[in-house]
C-alpha cells in the first residue's frame, strides 16, 4: 500500500475498491490474517525511553545522597578505607532499592496499558464483532460512535452528525465536523473532513469507515507524537518530602560546620574534627527515607490494584486520603446494573412483569384485574402491549446470548431489560428483524435523550420507533395507542401519574412511541422525531442497589465523606434508590434536585444546592462541572465518577477523577486519575482506605526514624562542643541507620489499616506531615535516647569497660530503643495490645532479622574488627533492655494521656468505640 495515497481525494467507493474489500461484508478472517502479516499489527513503535543506566544514575541525584557522597570522599582522603567503603555501600544500597522500584513501576505502567487495551467494532465475514484495536488491518470496515477513540486512519463511508476532536493531531481545539464526500488534492490535513485519524476523539455522532492506515503508517505515527513514557509528576507528598530533605540538608551542614569549628578551636587534629563532622552528617541523614517512601507508595498502589482500583496518576494516592465528597454515578456503580422490567403501561392498562435479570423467564399479569384474570396473560391478546414490546425490541442495539448457566448481555443494561421483557411477551428477535428490517437509526445521545430506528414494513409505510426519556418523547407525541390498537388523544395527566407512581417505587421509566413516514423514506434525522409521534406506553425497570454499596456509603459517612448521587434518571426514581442506599442526610426530606432547577439558580444558590442536596437528577455535563466547582469553592476535595464522554469535563475538574473500567469510554479513562476495574462504588471506598493507609504508614515511618537521626547528630554535636570522646563512631552510625531502616522501619509500610481509619475526618492536604503532638514526641524521645547513650557510656567506662565495649553498649541503646519504639509507632494513637502484636508478620520477621544481625555485630570477631565493637556482658544487656522498656512505657503512657484528653478514657478499646459512635453523627470538612 502506498503510504502517500491521497485517500481524501477518492470517493468512498474508490477507496474500498483500491483496498480490495467490501463495505457490506468486510474482510474474511483469513484475509485479515494475511494482511496482518503484510502490514503488521496496529500498534505504534514506542520511542526509546530512558536507559537503565540513566534510571540508575538518577537515584544519586538527591540532596541527602550528596552529603553521603561528600562524606565518603572526605574519609577516603583521610585514608579511612573501611568507613569510606561502608558509606559508599550505603549509598549504593539506597540507589539499588530506588532503581528496582522504578523499574517495577515502569513494568506496572506497561502492564496497565495492556490491561486497558482498547477494542473496536469491525465488520468481518458479514458480521459485526468486537476485536482489539491492535488486530485492525487496512481494508477493515469499522463502526464508531461518540466517546470512542479512532483506532486507525479511516476514510469515512457513512457519517451522521459526526464530529471529532483532532486537537492532539492538528492543535485545533474546536471539534471538526465530518462528511463523506471526496475533497480536493491540496486539502490540508486539518481540513480533511472525510477522514478520521488514529488517536483522535469522537465527540458526537456515529460513523462507518474504511481503515486505510494502521500503526506507524498513520498520521499520528508519522509525526511520532505518542505517549511513550509516563510523566514524572511532582505530587504534594513528594514536594513535602523534597522540602523536608532540603531543610534537613541545611541543618546538617550548619551542625557539621559547628562541630568542625568547635573541634578546631579546641586544638584537635584536622583529621579528627573532619571525622566528627562526617559522623554528625552521616548520623543526621535519614538514609532510608527515600527508599521507604518509594516502597510505601508502591505497596499502596499494589494493594489498590488488588482491590479493583488502578492508579493512573500518582497524586491520586495522596489525595484519596483527603477526599471529602464523592459524586457518584448511579447505574452500575451504586446499583447492580442488571435492569429488569417490572411494570408496563400499554393501551391505558398496567401490567406487572415477573422474573429477574436477563434470563427471559417470567410472565405478564394485568394489574387491577379480578382474581379470575390475575393469572399470567397471553401477550398476543393485548395488541397495544405487543406493539410496545416490539418497539423496545427493535429500537435496540443490545444482544442477549444464552450461556451454560446464564444469559450474557452485550450492550446497554437498559436495552437488555427491554429485550428480556419482549422475549417474556412471546416476541422472537430474529422473526421481528426479518419482518421489520432496520433501514436507519439515530443513536442515543445525552443531549437529545432518545434513540430512534427506521424499519421497512411489508404492508405499509416505513415505521419509526422511538424510545427515550418521558419528557422528550411525550413532548413530541400528538396521539396515543389504546388497548384496541386505535389512536386517541394523549392523556398526559394519567401518564404523568403513572410515571410518578413508578418512579416513587424506584423504577426507571422509559417512554416509547412510533411514527409512520412517507414510503420513500430511507433515512431519519432529529427533525422527524420532534413532532407527530404516537405514544405507545411506558416500561418501568429496576436496577437494585449493590449490597456492598450500601455498606460502603455508610463507611464513607463515618469517615466524614459525603456521597452525592448524580443520575440521568427521573428525580422520583433517583430519590427512591437514594433512600434504599442510605444517602439521605439523616431524616431530612427534599434531598434531591433536578437539572432544570439547577439551571434557574444563581451562583450563590448553586453553592447552597451543591452543599445541601444529595441527589442530582437529569443534570447536563455543564451542570456536573458546575457542581464540582461549587463544592471545590467551599473547600471540599471532590472525587467524581464517570463513564461517558460527557463526564470528562467534570472528571478533569475534580480533585480525583474516577473512571469506570468496564463501561467507561476511552476519553474518560484517559482523563481519570483512577480506574475502577469492576465499576463498583465499594471500590472507591477501598481506594480511600488504602490512600489513608499509605499516608498513615509514611507518617509512622518518619515519626519512627527521626529520633534515631536526631539522637546520633546531637550525641556527636555534644561530644564536639564539650570535647568528649565519641560514644558512637561514624561507621557504627551507618550500621544503625541502614540496618534499622531496612529491617525495622521499612516494615511499617506493611502495617494494616488502623482500626479508626474510616472513623476520622479527611486529612487536609495543606496540613504538614507531622502534627505538633508528633513533633513533640519525636523531640522528647530523641532527648531520652541522647541521655540514655551518655549515661550508658559513662556507666560502662565507670565499670572498667573498654572504649569499644562502651560504644557497643551505646549502639545497642539506640538500636533496641528504636526496636521497642517501633512497636509504639505501629499506631500513633492506640495501644499495641489493641492492634495486636502479630497483625503485621513482616514486622516480626524484620525484628528477628535485626536482632540476629545485632548479635553478629556484637559477638563475631570479624564484625568487631570492621566496626570497632566488642562483646558485652549481662549487666550491659540489663541496661539496654531497661532503658528500651522505659522508652516504650513512656510513649504508651503519653498516648494514654492523649486518649483521656480526647475521648475521656485511657482504654484504646473504649476510645475506638467512642470514636465509632461519634462517627455516626454528621461530620464533614477537613481534619
Q: What is the mean pLDDT of residues 449-456?
A: 93
Percent of the chain topping pLDDT 70:
84
CB atoms under 10 Å from CB of 388, counted, come to 30
Distance CA 433, CA 456 (A): 10
Q: Residue 558 pLDDT more than 70?
A: yes
Q: Please enumerate in sequence order all residues whose Cβ is within 8 A of that of 430, keeping only pairs 6 or more positions apart, or say none.
A: none
The per-residue pLDDT for 172 is 56
Top-ranked range on mean pLDDT: pick from 283-297, 307-321, 359-373, 828-842: 828-842
Distance CA 577, CA 393 (A): 26
Q: Say which range, 9-18, 215-224, 231-240, 579-588, has the weakest mean pLDDT.
A: 231-240
Q: Say which range, 21-25, 70-74, 154-158, 612-616, has the weakest mean pLDDT.
A: 70-74
Our CA angle for 604, 608, 614, nearest 5°, is 145
Q: Residue 842 pLDDT more than 80?
A: yes
Under the banding of pLDDT at 50, 70 and 90, the label for residue 470 is very high
Under the banding of pLDDT at 50, 70 and 90, the label for residue 819 is very high
Task: Single out the residue of 467, 540, 552 nearest to residue 507, CA to CA.
Answer: 540
Cβ atoms of 915 and 759 closer than 8 Å: yes
Q: Please enumerate in sequence order all residues whose Cβ is within 8 A of that of 836, keeping only pairs 6 or more positions apart, or say none.
A: none
> Could you read off the pLDDT of 509-557 as tens digits, one per residue?
999 999 999 988 999 999 999 999 999 999 998 877 888 888 888 888 8
Q: Residue 739 pLDDT more than 70?
A: yes
Distance CA 259, CA 56 (A): 34
Alpha carbon 541 to its chain's center: 30
Rg of the chain taking only CA atoms, in angstroms: 35
> Could you read off the pLDDT of 240-274 as tens digits, one per residue?
666 777 777 787 778 778 878 877 887 777 777 77
Is pLDDT larger for residue 504 or for residue 424? 424
Q: Residue 187 pLDDT more than 90?
A: no
Is pLDDT larger for residue 835 or for residue 36? 36
Distance CA 593, CA 601 (A): 11
The per-residue pLDDT for 722 is 81
Under the banding of pLDDT at 50, 70 and 90, the label for residue 446 is low
The per-residue pLDDT for 371 is 40
The per-residue pLDDT for 80 is 61
> Could you read off the pLDDT of 86-140 as tens digits, one per residue?
667 767 876 776 677 566 645 544 544 444 457 899 999 888 888 999 899 999 9
440 catalytic, yes or no? Answer: no
Q: Please enumerate in sequence order all residues whose Cβ is within 8 A of that of 663, keeping only pairs 6 or more positions apart, or say none.
A: 332, 337, 643, 679
Judge residue 715's burial from the number of C-beta atoms within 10 Å of its C-beta, 0-12 exposed, 13-18 middle, 19 or more buried. Answer: buried
Distance CA 148, CA 876 (A): 72
Q: Residue 387 pLDDT more than 80?
A: yes
Distance CA 343, CA 247 (A): 67
> Could you read off the pLDDT of 636-658 as tens digits, one per residue?
889 988 776 567 678 878 888 88
Helices 803-825, 772-798: crossing angle, 10 deg rounding:
150
DSSP secondary structure letter of residue 545? B
Cβ atoms of 694 and 686 closer than 8 Å: no
Q: What is the mean pLDDT of residues 326-346?
A: 84
The per-residue pLDDT for 231 is 37
Cβ atoms of 351 and 366 closer than 8 Å: yes
Distance CA 302, CA 690 (A): 10
Q: If residue 572 lies in a helix (H) or strand (E), which one and from where to where?
A: helix 571-581
Is pLDDT larger for residue 597 or for residue 421? 421
Under the banding of pLDDT at 50, 70 and 90, the label for residue 61 is confident
Judge residue 578's burial from the number of C-beta atoms within 10 Å of its C-beta, 0-12 exposed, 13-18 middle, 19 or more buried. Answer: buried
Task: Single out the residue of 174, 127, 171, 168 nearest to residue 150, CA to CA.
Answer: 168
Q: What is the mean pLDDT of residues 412-422?
A: 89
Strand ranges across the sheet with 656-660: 309-311, 674-676, 656-660, 638-642, 325-329, 562-567, 615-617, 592-594
Judge residue 270's burial from the number of C-beta atoms within 10 Å of its C-beta, 0-12 exposed, 13-18 middle, 19 or more buried. Answer: exposed
Is pLDDT larger for residue 257 or for residue 316? 257
The per-residue pLDDT for 351 is 95
- DSSP code per residue over 674-726: EEETT--HHHHHHHHHHHHHHHHHHHHHHHHHHHHHHHHHHHHHHHHHHTPPP
CB atoms under 10 Å from CB of 117, counted, come to 11
Cβ atoms of 121 and 154 closer than 8 Å: no
> Could you read off the pLDDT of 860-888 as tens digits, one per residue?
999 999 889 999 999 999 999 999 999 99
Distance CA 422, CA 429 (A): 8
The per-residue pLDDT for 169 is 63
As a whole number of Å, the end-to-end CA separation of the chain is 63
Q: Residue 228 pLDDT more than 60?
A: no
The per-residue pLDDT for 199 is 78
Find the catalytic residue in 148, 217, 329, 440.
Answer: 329
- DSSP code per residue over 764-797: PTTS-SS-HHHHHHHHHHHHHHHHHHHHHHHHHH
The per-residue pLDDT for 913 is 60
Distance CA 637, CA 318 (A): 12
Q: What is the dihedral of CA 802, 808, 813, 816, to 10 degrees?
A: -150
Is pLDDT larger for residue 756 or for residue 743? 743
Is pLDDT larger for residue 176 or for residue 790? 790
Task: Single out the residue of 444, 450, 570 nearest to residue 507, CA to CA.
Answer: 570
CB atoms under 10 Å from CB of 723, counted, come to 12
Q: What is the mean pLDDT of residues 902-906?
A: 75
The per-residue pLDDT for 268 is 74
Is pLDDT larger for residue 783 or for residue 505? 783
Q: Residue 374 pLDDT more than 60?
A: no
Q: Residue 399 pLDDT more than 50?
A: yes
Q: What is the mean pLDDT of the chain?
A: 82
Distance CA 475, CA 167 (A): 37
C-alpha cell at 821: 519504639
Judge residue 449's burial from the number of C-beta atoms within 10 Å of its C-beta, 0-12 exposed, 13-18 middle, 19 or more buried. Answer: middle
Distance CA 126, CA 452 (A): 24
C-alpha cell at 240: 513535602
DSSP secondary structure letter of residue 205? E
Q: Residue 280 pLDDT more than 50?
A: yes
The per-residue pLDDT for 547 is 81
> Could you read off the pLDDT of 127-175 as tens digits, one per residue?
888 899 989 999 999 999 887 889 999 999 998 878 887 765 664 556 7
The per-residue pLDDT for 912 is 60
Q: Residue 46 pLDDT more than 70?
A: no
Is pLDDT larger for residue 906 or for residue 859? 859
Is pLDDT larger for residue 569 or for residue 211? 211
C-alpha cell at 806: 562502651
Q: What is the mean pLDDT of residues 482-488?
A: 88
Distance CA 710, CA 530 (A): 76
C-alpha cell at 472: 422528550
Task: Single out the residue of 813, 916, 738 nearest to residue 282, CA to CA.
Answer: 738
Q: What is the mean pLDDT of residues 748-757?
A: 84
Distance CA 364, CA 855 (A): 80
The per-residue pLDDT for 448 is 83
Q: Residue 424 pLDDT more than 50?
A: yes
Cβ atoms of 751 and 704 closer than 8 Å: no
Q: Residue 761 pLDDT more than 50?
A: yes
The per-residue pLDDT for 926 is 47
The per-residue pLDDT for 661 is 79
Amino acid at each position: 500500500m502506498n503510504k502517500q495515497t491521497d485517500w481524501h481525494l477518492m470517493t468512498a467507493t474508490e477507496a474500498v475498491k483500491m483496498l480490495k474489500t467490501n463495505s457490506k461484508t468486510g474482510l474474511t478472517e483469513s484475509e485479515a490474517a494475511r494482511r496482518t502479516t503484510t502490514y503488521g499489527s496496529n500498534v505504534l513503535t514506542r520511542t526509546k525511553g530512558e536507559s537503565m543506566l540513566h534510571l540508575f544514575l538518577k537515584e544519586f541525584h538527591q540532596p541527602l545522597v550528596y552529603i553521603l557522597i561528600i562524606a565518603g570522599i572526605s574519609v577516603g582522603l583521610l585514608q579511612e578505607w573501611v568507613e569510606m567503603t561502608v558509606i559508599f555501600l550505603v549509598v549504593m544500597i539506597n540507589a539499588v532499592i530506588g532503581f528496582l522500584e522504578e523499574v517495577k513501576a515502569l513494568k506496572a505502567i506497561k502492564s496497565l496499558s495492556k490491561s486497558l487495551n482498547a477494542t473496536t467494532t469491525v465488520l468481518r465475514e458479514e458480521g459485526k464483532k468486537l476485536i482489539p484495536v491492535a488486530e485492525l488491518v487496512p481494508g477493515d470496515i469499522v463502526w464508531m460512535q461518540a466517546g470512542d477513540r479512532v483506532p486507525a486512519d479511516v476514510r469515512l463511508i457513512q457519517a451522521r452528525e459526526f464530529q471529532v476532536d483532532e486537537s492532539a493531531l492538528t492543535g485545533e481545539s474546536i471539534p471538526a465536523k465530518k462528511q463523506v464526500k471526496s475533497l480536493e488534492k491540496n486539502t490540508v490535513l486539518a481540513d480533511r473532513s472525510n477522514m478520521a485519524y488514529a488517536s483522535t476523539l469522537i465527540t458526537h455522532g456515529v460513523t462507518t469507515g474504511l481503515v486505510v492506515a494502521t500503526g506507524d503508517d498513520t498520521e499520528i505515527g508519522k509525526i511520532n507524537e505518542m505517549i511513550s513514557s509516563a510523566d514524572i509528576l511532582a505530587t504534594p507528598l513528594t514536594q513535602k518530602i523534597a522540602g523536608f530533605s532540603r531543610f534537613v540538608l541545611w541543618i546538617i551542614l550548619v551542625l557539621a560546620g559547628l562541630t568542625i569549628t568547635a573541634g578546631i578551636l579546641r586544638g584537635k587534629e584536622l583529621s579528627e574534627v573532619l571525622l566528627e563532622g562526617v559522623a554528625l552528617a552521616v548520623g543526621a541523614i535519614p538514609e532510608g527515607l527515600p527508599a521507604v517512601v518509594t516502597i510505601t507508595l508502591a505497596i499502596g498502589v499494589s494493594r489498590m490494584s488488588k482491590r479493583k482500583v488502578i492508579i493512573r496518576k500518582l497524586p491520586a494516592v495522596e489525595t484519596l486520603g483527603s477526599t471529602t465528597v464523592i459524586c457518584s454515578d448511579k447505574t452500575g456503580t451504586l446499583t447492580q446494573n442488571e435492569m429488569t422490567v417490572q411494570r408496563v403501561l400499554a393501551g391505558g392498562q398496567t401490567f406487572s412483569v415477573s422474573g429477574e435479570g436477563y434470563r427471559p423467564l417470567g410472565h405478564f399479569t394485568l394489574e387491577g384485574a379480578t382474581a379470575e384474570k390475575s393469572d399470567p396473560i397471553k401477550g398476543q391478546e393485548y395488541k397495544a402491549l405487543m406493539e410496545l414490546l416490539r418497539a423496545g425490541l427493535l429500537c435496540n442495539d443490545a444482544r442477549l446470548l444464552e450461556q451454560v448457566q446464564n444469559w450474557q448481555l452485550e450492550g446497554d443494561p437498559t436495552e437488555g431489560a427491554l429485550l428480556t421483557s419482549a422475549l417474556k411477551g412471546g416476541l422472537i428477535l430474529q422473526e421481528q428483524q426479518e419482518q421489520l428490517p432496520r433501514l436507519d437509526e439515530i443513536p442515543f445521545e445525552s443531549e437529545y435523550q432518545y434513540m430512534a430506528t427506521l424499519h421497512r414494513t411489508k404492508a405499509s409505510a416505513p415505521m419509526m420507533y422511538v424510545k427515550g426519556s418521558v419528557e422528550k418523547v411525550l413532548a413530541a407525541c400528538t396521539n396515543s395507542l389504546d388497548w384496541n390498537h386505535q389512536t386517541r388523544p394523549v392523556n398526559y395527566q394519567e401518564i404523568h401519574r403513572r410515571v410518578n407512581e413508578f418512579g416513587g417505587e424506584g423504577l426507571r421509566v422509559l417512554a416509547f412511541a412510533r411514527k409512520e413516514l412517507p414510503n420513500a423514506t430511507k433515512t431519519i434525522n432529529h427533525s422527524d422525531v420532534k413532532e407527530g409521534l404516537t405514544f405507545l406506553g411506558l416500561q418501568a425497570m429496576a436496577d437494585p442497589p449493590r449490597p456492598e454499596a450500601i455498606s460502603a456509603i455508610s463507611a464513607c459517612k463515618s469517615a466524614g465523606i459525603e456521597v452525592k448521587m448524580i443520575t440521568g434518571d427521573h428525580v422520583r426514581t433517583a430519590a427512591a434508590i437514594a433512600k434504599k442506599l442510605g444517602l439521605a442526610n439523616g431524616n431530612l426530606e427534599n434531598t434531591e434536585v433536578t437539572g432544570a432547577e439547577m439551571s434557574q439558580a444563581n451562583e450563590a444558590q448553586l453553592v447552597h444546592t451543591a452543599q445541601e442536596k444529595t441527589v442530582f437528577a437529569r443534570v447536563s455535563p455543564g451542570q456536573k462541572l458546575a457542581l464540582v466547582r461549587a463544592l471545590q469553592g467551599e473547600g471540599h476535595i471532590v472525587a467524581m465518577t464517570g463513564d461517558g464522554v460527557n463526564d470528562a469535563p467534570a472528571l478533569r475538574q475534580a480533585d480525583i477523577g474516577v473512571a469506570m473500567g468496564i463501561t467507561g469510554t476511552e476519553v474518560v479513562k484517559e482523563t481519570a486519575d483512577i480506574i475502577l476495574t469492576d465499576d463498583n462504588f465499594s471500590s472507591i471506598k477501598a481506594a480511600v482506605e488504602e490512600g489513608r493507609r499509605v499516608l498513615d504508614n509514611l507518617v509512622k515511618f518518619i515519626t519512627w526514624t527521626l529520633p534515631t537521626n536526631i539522637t546520633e547528630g546531637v550525641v556527636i554535636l555534644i561530644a564536639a562542643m564539650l570535647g568528649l570522646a565519641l560514644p558512637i563512631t561514624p561507621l557504627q552510625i551507618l550500621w544503625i541507620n541502614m540496618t534499622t531502616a531496612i529491617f525495622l522501619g521499612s516494615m511499617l509500610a506493611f502495617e494494616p489499616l488502623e482500626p479508626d481509619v474510616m472513623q476520622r475526618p479527611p486529612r487536609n492536604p495543606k496540613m504538614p506531615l507531622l502534627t505538633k503532638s508528633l513533633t513533640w514526641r519525636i523531640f522528647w524521645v530523641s532527648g531520652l535516647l541522647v541521655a540514655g547513650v551518655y549515661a550508658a557510656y559513662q556507666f560502662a567506662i565507670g565499670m572498667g569497660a573498654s572504649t569499644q565495649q562502651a560504644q557497643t553498649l551505646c549502639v545497642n541503646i539506640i538500636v533496641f530503643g528504636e526496636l521497642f519504639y517501633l512497636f509504639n509507632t505501629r499506631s500513633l494513637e492506640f495501644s499495641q495490645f489493641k492492634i495486636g502484636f502479630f497483625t503485621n508478620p513482616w514486622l516480626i520477621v524484620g525484628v528477628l532479622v535485626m536482632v540476629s544481625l545485632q548479635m553478629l555485630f556484637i559477638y563475631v570477631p570479624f564484625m568487631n574488627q570492621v566496626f570497632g565493637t566488642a562483646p558485652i556482658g549481662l549487666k550491659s544487656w540489663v541496661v539496654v533492655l531497661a532503658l528500651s522498656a522505659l522508652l516504650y512505657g513512656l510513649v504508651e503512657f503519653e498516648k494514654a494521656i492523649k486518649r483521656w484528653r480526647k475521648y475521656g478514657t485511657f482504654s484504646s478499646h473504649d476510645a475506638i468505640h467512642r470514636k465509632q459512635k461519634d462517627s455516626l453523627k454528621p461530620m464533614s470538612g477537613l481534619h
